[in-house]
Amino acid sequence: MNKVILSKLSIEELESYIVSLGEKKFRAGQIFSWIWAKNAKSFDSMTDIKKESRELLKQNCQILDCTIKKRQISSDGTIKYLIEFQDGLCAETVLMRFDNRSNLSMCVSCQVGCKMGCKFCATGKNGFKRNLLAHEIVSQILLCQMDTGLKITNVVFMGQGEPLDNFDNIKKAIYLINKNLQISIRRMTLSTCGIVPKINELALCELKPTLAVSLHAPNHDIRKQIMPIENKYDIESLKKALKNYNEKTKDRITIEYILIGNLNDTKDCAMELIEFLKDLKCNINLIPYNSVDNSAFKKPAKKNLMLFKYILEASGKKVTIRLERGADIDAACGQLAGKVNN
Ligand code: SAH
Ligand code: SF4
């Protein structure tokens, strides 16, 4: 008999299910709170539920339908999890811990693989397998909270896959993270390679996360060399969608720009980028390229990175350099390949 997965159920669904088992309706509220607020790993830890009811639950249901297949801890404290879903496919999720900060950020995956084929990224190298369902996206956070006993405060949709290519599940996941895990929408950031119509759709949603955009080039010619999506939605149409998002949210967008040695890290690129971004409300996050197996790309020279930053800063925008997290366990941006045997 297939067991019922309780984390998939809304409180109303849980109530009718619990009643169908012959239990009192109020039990549903207790169970819901154990799963979503108290990180219960097992029915035995639900101490305010009497033993016979716990046995009944054990026989008929389980909390989650995915498990931690592997856990790696980086020397900088970052934890990378390989999560296995019910059909045996796996995806990675990364917990970023900063000793000097009270927030705990999780970088979650939304697809197994990716269709977008960006040349610098490890995720799509083995092709696209499938979209993750909303509850599978949210379960990554639940599993991590259960494993560490800590409360996640920020969520970034920047793991494996393209969130706006799995739009319906992402929208549901955002809703569940907000409602069930009580994480404010202001603490969620979604990163996209630039699927223009979906950015416009997101701008109309009630819950709008902070938008981060993988721009990575100041013009069409360079962008199309590294990001196939540029052939479908070019940089000018992307800019229109970003201005629209600006107007609908009143918030700043984050422009992500990977600096790749000798490709997009020149002074001219920086000047062109300033021009491109001048009428957008945005911050700029520079990401030094992280190495990926068998890639011809190079990290930028340190002095080019700093020069690039200073040129952009002179335009008045806030510019940050993304810290490399967990590179020793292949957990840094672009390194999530979801390899099962590494
Ligand atoms: N698909 C989404 C989100 C996942 S990728 C997107 O592309 O935005 C998260 C971030 O890592 C993106 O900005 C992506 O461009 C960046 N990234 C991918 N490969 C990288 C690499 N090798 N080095 C540094 N950043 C990389
Ligand atoms: Fe997909 Fe993002 Fe990687 Fe591009 S950078 S292949 S969109 S995960």
Rounded to whole angstroms, the Cα distance separating 190 from 164 reads: 9
Rounded to whole angstroms, the Cα distance separating 60 from 316 reads: 59
Does ligand 2 lie within 6 Å of residue 121's CB atom?
A: yes
| pLDDT at res. 107 | 96
| pLDDT at res. 254 | 98
Burial (CB < 10 A; 0-12, 13-18, 19+), residue 21, is middle
Rounded to whole angstroms, the Cα distance separating 338 from 160 reads: 8
Q: What percent of the chain has pLDDT over 90?
A: 86
Instruction: Residue count of the chain, please give it.
Output: 342
Rounded to the nearest angstrom, the distance between the alpha carbon of 117 and the centre of ligand 1 is 11
Does ligand 1 lie within 6 Å of residue 108's CB atom?
A: no
| pLDDT at res. 99 | 67
How far is CA 117 from each of CA 114, 123, 148, rounded to the nearest angstrom? 7, 8, 34
Rounded to the nearest angstrom, the distance between the alpha carbon of 256 and the centre of ligand 1 is 8
Mutate to test the pocket of ligand 1, among 116, 137, 198, 214 (most ligand atoms within 8 A of CB): 214
3-state helix, strand, coil in the chain (%, to 5): 40, 20, 40
pLDDT, tens digit, 9 for 90 and up, residues 256-300? 999 999 999 999 999 999 999 999 999 999 999 988 877 889 999
Does ligand 2 lie within 6 Å of residue 118's CB atom?
A: yes
pLDDT, tens digit, 9 for 90 and up, residues 143-190? 999 999 999 999 999 999 999 999 999 999 999 999 999 999 999 999
pLDDT, tens digit, 9 for 90 and up, residues 91-109? 999 999 776 677 899 999 9
Q: Among candidates 260, 300, 252, 302, which has minimal Cα distance to 277?
A: 252
pLDDT, tens digit, 9 for 90 and up, residues 10-51? 999 999 999 999 999 999 999 999 999 999 999 999 999 999
Catalytic (active-site) positions: 92, 333
Q: Phi, psi (5° rounding) for residue 251? A: -100, 160
**3-state DSSP call for residue 312?**
helix
| pLDDT at res. 342 | 39
Does ligand 1 lie within 6 Å of residue 333's CB atom?
A: yes
pLDDT, tens digit, 9 for 90 and up, residues 188-223? 999 999 999 999 999 999 999 999 999 999 999 999
131 neighbors 96 (Cβ within 8 angstroms): no
- In the DSSP assignment, the letter for residue 301 is P
Q: Quick check: 240 pLDDT over 60?
A: yes
- In the DSSP assignment, the letter for residue 95 is E
- Hey, which residues does 106 pair with through a beta bridge? 95, 155
Rounded to whole angstroms, the Cα distance separating 70 from 81 reads: 6
Closest ligand 2 atom to 124 CA:
6
Rounded to whole angstroms, the Cα distance separating 19 from 218 reads: 59
Q: Quick check: 131 pLDDT over 70?
A: yes
pLDDT, tens digit, 9 for 90 and up, residues 288-342? 998 887 788 999 999 999 999 999 999 999 999 987 777 777 777 767 776 664 3
- Hey, which residues does 258 pair with through a beta bridge? 287
Rounded to the nearest angstrom, the distance between the alpha carbon of 293 and the centre of ligand 1 is 15
| pLDDT at res. 126 | 76
| pLDDT at res. 341 | 45
How far is CA 157 from each of CA 21, 222, 268, 339, rounded to the nearest angstrom? 37, 25, 31, 19
| pLDDT at res. 12 | 95
| pLDDT at res. 269 | 98
Does ligand 2 lie within 6 Å of residue 162's CB atom?
A: yes
Does ligand 1 lie within 6 Å of residue 287's CB atom?
A: yes
Q: How confident is the prediction for the chain on average, in pLDDT?
A: 93
pLDDT, tens digit, 9 for 90 and up, residues 132-153? 999 999 999 999 999 999 999 9
Closest ligand 1 atom to 292 CA:
22
Rounded to the nearest angstrom, the distance between the alpha carbon of 220 and the centre of ligand 1 is 18
